[in-house]
């Protein structure tokens, strides 16, 4: 994270048998990095070499992060010191790390109290992120910050072309798994599992997709009378929404585009597992001259590139990887995509604009700006901004109710008939 590399990429290089444990440890550290860094500054005021700083902050996050830590205090200290001794880059600092961690064990309560007035330490998010939420949600800005500290539930989408929710629940029960229907084709597992261990996954009966993300395909397709509409999925990877479109309308003519060839391969792999087909192309959706054949689409799904601020429960490192300057750049890209794709939609057709962001500048502000520039666009009912909250606390946000899942933004626009 500190080097700018995402945990998703780093974990992909870890041996499969070690990956679950490494992921659990890494995610825990990401969720408590703000407090760990503040504690490190209390313990050592001078600048530390990056590898030493990372190791010390990792140990402090494991010691101070929760009331029920992942490992005993003795284990954390012992393993941190041993890890320092094994690397030539940190070996000389093994004694310093040992002294700092043992001091924390003696003075932990005082040290934690000393850093709690620091918003970054208290909320474990960058200061700019906290301030942006305060501006967007003056009365409920704490809600997504609190939710981000807990893992998101594991939610599956049942492939209605091969199974149904009732049958999926029965297969889970037979396998000793507890699952709950959430409505539509969504099912939540009580305990997360590797995908290869999920009954029906390999056979294409179910896919992993958050409940909030499962709103996209029905929002776009409900109300379209054509059984075989021409649909564009403009930023398709990794393909969950592409597949859902085809599960709802098997005869739909779906064109799935993504600028990243590696990520697009995930789309084709997912479709193959599910027994679905789409026209998948590597292209920049905004550069329409390079891929569009001139035929108008009945529906367009634009799941635009964004900060990912709504999926921090699933990817806790995002908060530390993003910079405040990223948001304006991403918003500009969203504007470009909206403006480029709107002419490809037939009169009477629909465009669904969505982002997995909770920031207004990547949601409502983009749509308001688009509507000012395009007088042939009519907004239709859509959820708008959805904030991730914790169901166990009975939280709700605005008119959107409880959303114990990812944060998202949805806007549905119809092109007026001339």
| Catalytic residue positions, numbered | 356
Q: DSSP letters of 48-93?
A: --HHHHHHHHHHHHHHHS-SS-SS-HHHHHHHHHHHHHHSTTTGGG
- From CA 386, how far away is CA 400, in angstroms rounded? 7
246 Cβ contact list (under 8 Å, min separation 6): 252, 254, 271, 274, 276, 277, 278
Supply the DSSP symbol for 129. H
Rounded to an integer, what distance in angstroms lies between the CA atom of residue 80 and that of residue 100?
11
- Across 215-259, where does the E strand assignment appear? 230-233, 253-258
Output the CA torsion 301→306→309→310 (10° steps). 0
> How far is C-alpha 295 from the chain's CA centre?
33
- Closest to 275 measured CA to CA, from 252, 246, 255: 246
């Amino acid at each position: 994270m500190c080097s700018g590399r995402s945990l998703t990429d780093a974990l992909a290089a870890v041996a499969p048998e070690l990956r679950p444990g490494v992921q659990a440890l890494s995610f825990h550290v990401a969720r408590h990095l703000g407090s760990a860094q503040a504690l490190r500054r209390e313990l050592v005021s001078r600048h530390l070499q990056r590898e030493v700083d990372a190791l010390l902050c990792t140990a402090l996050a494991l010691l101070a992060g929760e009331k029920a830590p992942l490992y005993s205090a003795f284990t954390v200290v012992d393993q941190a010191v041993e890890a320092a001794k094994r690397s030539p880059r940190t070996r000389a600092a093994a004694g310093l790390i040992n002294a700092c961690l043992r001091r924390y064990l003696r003075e932990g309560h005082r040290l934690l109290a000393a850093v709690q007035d620091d918003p970054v330490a208290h909320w474990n998010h960058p200061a700019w992120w906290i301030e942006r939420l305060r501006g967007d949600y003056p009365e409920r800005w704490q809600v997504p910050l609190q939710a981000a500290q807990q893992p998101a539930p594991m939610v599956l989408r049942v492939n209605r072309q091969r199974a149904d929710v009732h049958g999926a629940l029965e297969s889970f029960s037979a396998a000793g798994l507890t699952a709950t229907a959430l409505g539509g084709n969504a099912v939540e597992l009580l305990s997360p599992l590797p995908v290869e261990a999920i009954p029906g996954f390999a056979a294409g009966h179910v896919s992993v997709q958050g409940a909030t993300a499962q709103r996209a395909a029905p929002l776009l397709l409900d109300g379209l009378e054509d059984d075989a509409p021409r649909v564009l999925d403009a930023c398709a990877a990794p393909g969950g929404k592409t597949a859902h479109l085809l599960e709802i309308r098997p005869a739909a003519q779906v064109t799935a585009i993504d600028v990243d060839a590696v990520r697009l391969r995930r789309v084709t792999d997912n479709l193959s597992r599910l027994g679905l087909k789409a026209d998948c192309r590597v292209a920049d959706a905004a550069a329409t001259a390079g891929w569009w054949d001139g035929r108008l689409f009945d529906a367009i799904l634009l799941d635009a590139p964004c900060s990912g601020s709504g999926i921090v429960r699933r990817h806790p490192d995002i908060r530390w990887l993003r910079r405040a300057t990223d948001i304006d750049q991403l918003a500009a890209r969203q504007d470009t995509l909206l403006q480029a794709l709107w002419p490809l939609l037939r009169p009477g057709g629909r465009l669904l604009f969505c982002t997995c962001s909770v920031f207004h500048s990547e949601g409502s502000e983009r749509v308001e700006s688009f509507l000012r520039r395009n007088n042939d666009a009519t907004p239709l009912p859509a959820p708008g901004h959805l904030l991730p909250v914790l169901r166990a606390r009975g939280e709700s946000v605005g008119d959107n109710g409880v959303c114990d899942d990812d944060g998202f933004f949805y806007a549905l626009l119809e092109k007026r008939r001339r």
